[in-house]
Structure 1
Amino acid sequence: MGSQSKPVQQLTPFGHALAGALGGVFSNAVVYPLDTVKTRIQATSSDESRRKGKSAQSTSITSLLLQILKQEGVAGFYKGFGASMLNTFSMQYAYFFFYSFVRSTYIKRTTKAGKKPEALSTAVELILGAVAGALAQIFTIPVSVIATRQQIGRSVAVKKSNSLPSIPTPRSQDQPSPSEQVTLPSVTQVEQSVEESHVERTTDDSFLAVAREIIQEDGVTGLWLGIHSSLVLTVNPAITYGVFERVKSIFTLGDPTVKMGPWRAFLVGALSKTLATIVTYPYIMAKVRVQAHGSKLESSEKGSTTAAPKYNGALDVLRKVYKSGGIIGWYQGMSAQILKAVLAQAFLFMTKEQFEQYALIIMVAWGRLRNASPA
């Protein structure tokens, strides 16, 4: 029994990172339509919903899924899929790599020679997870910003009126009186309207096009929108893995060689992620709002724009949401977030050991190829 667990234990930080990344991509791909729905709900404020005549029911998970299917087809569920999977792979790879590296380094430094390493406390696990998450976020957040913009649909974010100027029609064939003179749009106005309509219908939603748009709006630093809230949210995986390890130790009676089984791991992973999501959700919502809206300016009731961005950071989002909707506004879309996050995390935990085996096979095959290649 002990010999069977050695290959997994012998995985290097790169191996653990690869296993985590593969598992993360798989679990997030399975629930991606839910990811699109929860992002759109989080990116839309209650004020915007009221202006568009949407009720709370119209922003529910089921109604939004049906709305996307009706208006955009199945492809609407997978907007930004490539960027999101790239973000998931890079984020999971970076997180698992840094977590394994930081954890193993800490254990080596705190373990005296010739003695067995002691089990890490929950506090230490949380701190190590937060450090790993912070390092991973710094390197991977640009892809996350681009994926968020693609998911909410740039047709929603940048769409303006793309119809031609209306031409009033006299009520009769008689010559209109001076008071009823019809003002026809000029040729220039018509041509300009047609040109704007064509540009918006042919908007490029590709990865590079969205990246260029973000840089034009906010500069290069725009690719790191929401970095502050993302760093705060590093406690989310830390809480998740901390709770998972604690609950796992209860089921296994503290014996690391005992396997829980996939379904028990699924349930423990779901419980862990639910708790972490509830604790950190307001900042999750704030990060999505900042990344989705960028430097778009607020419009006054008269149609003019102020010089201030719509949201000036996560704390500004929380302040404005609280002012308009109270604490309940901080949890808008939480049900979609929990459903998506719990399913993805549970699938990840359930398949973690399997993907560790795949990672080990890949690393062994890669090592053989390198050894067999001519010098």
Structure 2
Amino acid sequence: MAGQSKPAISPWGGAVAGATGAVLANALVYPLDIVKTRLQVQVRSDGKGPTDPNTPVYNSTWDAITRIVAEEGTAGLYAGIHGSLLGVASTNFAYFYWYTVIRTLYTKYAKPTGAPSTTIELSLGALAGAVAQLFTIPVAVVTTRQQTASKADRKGLLSTAREVVEGPDGLSGLWRGLKASLVLVVNPAITYGAYERLKTVLFPGKKNLKPWEAFALGAMSKALATIATQPLIVAKVGLQSKPPPARNGKPFSSFIEVMKFIIENEGVMSLFKGIGPQILKGLLVQGILMMTKERVELMFVLLLRYLKAVRLQQLRSAAQRATQSIAPAAPLKTSN
């Protein structure tokens, strides 16, 4: 099987493979998602301490993990996981579906002589990401609220969504951070653009990657994307979570306002807070995602081939039975 080339997969096949890989990867590293979100939303005053004595401030990834477990139990590391996995599945399904569709249309109508350039890959990925975000951002907003809420204030998925809708923004509150999210489509665009480019450079002409090769490519590409977009990621989390105590309940109106608030209160380097667990999570998630996606796509193709073969055999059997059931008419006897 290693020598076989993997044929082009349908948009649905690519979407299912991508969503499956994303759900598996995010479920495995979800505690890192909790930690990086809480590190990104916490506010320090001049880097010396919290603005609110009741608001926990974590000094590192390990400090956050140990304190969350001590205060909330192991379950605290999985707060909001159902909504998060739902969002991950829907976002990645939509992304890979539209990415496959858009890339196929580009190949069909633009008719490039070779592989798409890096600029084209980034543009195709950004367009697919923008379309996916329009449909999936409400789940991300609700999940962020669940992850940043205290154990006493934490509610279920639907109750949290209702709380957002009943807030000052109304129904549009479910799309808070949409502008930041649309800007952040450069993240998956950089990730998958870099993945395709690194794949061409490091493994030229190779169709089926080994699991470790797909993992390494996914990890490297995600690290590059995370470093480039971390300030926007931090600003997006600030938009989607409850405003810090210093805001007196007033929500941020834009990601520029979030970034300005962070710089004024914590300094420029705080735009990169939480980057440690963010990169670690990204490395593991993207590596596992692409490794799983490659395998699932191949399994999907083989399954379709098997189903087509079974269907063809059924049609042949039905045709044979129909032919046998039609006996030739006996010749008429004539009298002398």
Please classify the TM superposition score into its range, dividing by the shorter chain length. 0.7 to 0.9
What residue is the counterpart of 1:15 in the other structure?
A: 13
Identity of aligned residues (%): 40
What residue is the counterpart of 1:205 in the other structure?
A: 155
Q: Does 2:284 match 1:336?
A: no
Q: Distance in 2 between matches of 1:106 and 1:91?
A: 22
What residue is the counterpart of 2:252 in the other structure?
A: 311
2:125 to 118, 129, 134: 129
Q: Does 2:53 match 1:52?
A: yes
Superposed CA deviations along residues 5-40 of structure 1, whole A, max 9, x for unmatched, are 2xx424210110000000000011110010011111
Secondary structure (helix, strand or coil) at the match of 1:51 reads coil
Secondary structure (helix, strand or coil) at the match of 2:247 reads strand
Q: Distance in 2 between matches of 1:67 and 1:295?
A: 20
Q: Does 2:68 match 1:68?
A: yes
Contact 2:80 2:146 in 1 (8 A): yes
Contact 1:297 1:310 in 2 (8 A): no
Q: Superposition pairs for residues 230-249 of structure 1, below 5 Å?
A: 230-249=181-200
Contact 1:225 1:294 in 2 (8 A): no
Q: Distance in 1 between matches of 2:225 and 2:54?
A: 33
Contact 1:281 1:334 in 2 (8 A): yes
Contact 1:286 1:314 in 2 (8 A): yes
CA shift in 2, pair 1:49/1:362, >3 Å: farther
Contact 2:20 2:293 in 1 (8 A): no
What residue is the counterpart of 2:288 in the other structure?
A: 347
Q: Distance in 1 between matches of 2:290 and 2:109?
A: 28
CA shift for structure 1 position 137: 0.3
Contact 1:107 1:117 in 2 (8 A): no
Q: Superposition pairs for residues 77-156 of structure 1, below 5 Å?
A: 77-111=77-111, 117-155=113-151
Contact 1:273 1:342 in 2 (8 A): yes
CA shift for structure 1 position 107: 0.6
What residue is the counterpart of 1:285 in the other structure?
A: 234
TM-score normalised by L of structure 1: 0.76
Superposed CA deviations along residues 126-179 of structure 1, whole A, max 9, x for unmatched, are 000000000000000001111111111254xxxxxxxxxxxxxxxxxxxxxxxx
CA shift in 2, pair 1:361/1:43, >3 Å: farther
Q: Does 2:29 match 1:31?
A: yes
CA shift in 2, pair 1:327/1:368, >3 Å: farther
Contact 1:230 1:287 in 2 (8 A): yes
Q: Distance in 2 between matches of 1:101 and 1:51?
A: 49
Q: Distance in 1 between matches of 2:311 and 2:164?
A: 41
CA shift for structure 1 position 52: 2.6
Q: Distance in 2 between matches of 1:332 and 1:326?
A: 11
TM-score normalised by L of structure 2: 0.84
Q: Distance in 1 between matches of 2:307 and 2:143?
A: 31
CA shift for structure 1 position 358: 3.8
CA shift in 2, pair 1:235/1:263, >3 Å: same
Q: Which runs of 5+ in 2 are unaligned?
A: 315-336
Contact 1:15 1:363 in 2 (8 A): no
Contact 1:80 1:151 in 2 (8 A): yes
Q: Distance in 1 between matches of 2:310 and 2:161?
A: 37
Contact 1:296 1:310 in 2 (8 A): no
Q: Superposition pairs for residues 142-181 of structure 1, below 5 Å?
A: 142-155=138-151
Q: Distance in 2 between matches of 1:21 and 1:31?
A: 16
Q: Distance in 2 between matches of 1:135 and 1:229?
A: 14
CA shift in 2, pair 1:204/1:335, >3 Å: closer
Q: Which runs of 5+ in 1 are unaligned?
A: 156-200, 300-304
Q: Distance in 2 between matches of 1:261 and 1:245?
A: 15
How many residues were matched structurally? Answer: 309
CA shift in 2, pair 1:238/1:50, >3 Å: same
CA shift for structure 1 position 366: 8.3
Superposed CA deviations along residues 263-285 of structure 1, whole A, max 9, x for unmatched, are 22222221111111011000000
Question: Residue type matched to 1:51 in 2?
Answer: D
Q: Distance in 1 between matches of 2:172 and 2:244?
A: 11
CA shift in 2, pair 1:78/1:2, >3 Å: closer
CA shift in 2, pair 1:329/1:263, >3 Å: same
Contact 2:51 2:245 in 1 (8 A): no
Question: Residue type matched to 1:207 in 2?
Answer: L
CA shift in 2, pair 1:340/1:28, >3 Å: same
CA shift in 2, pair 1:108/1:294, >3 Å: farther
Q: Distance in 2 between matches of 1:312 and 1:245?
A: 36
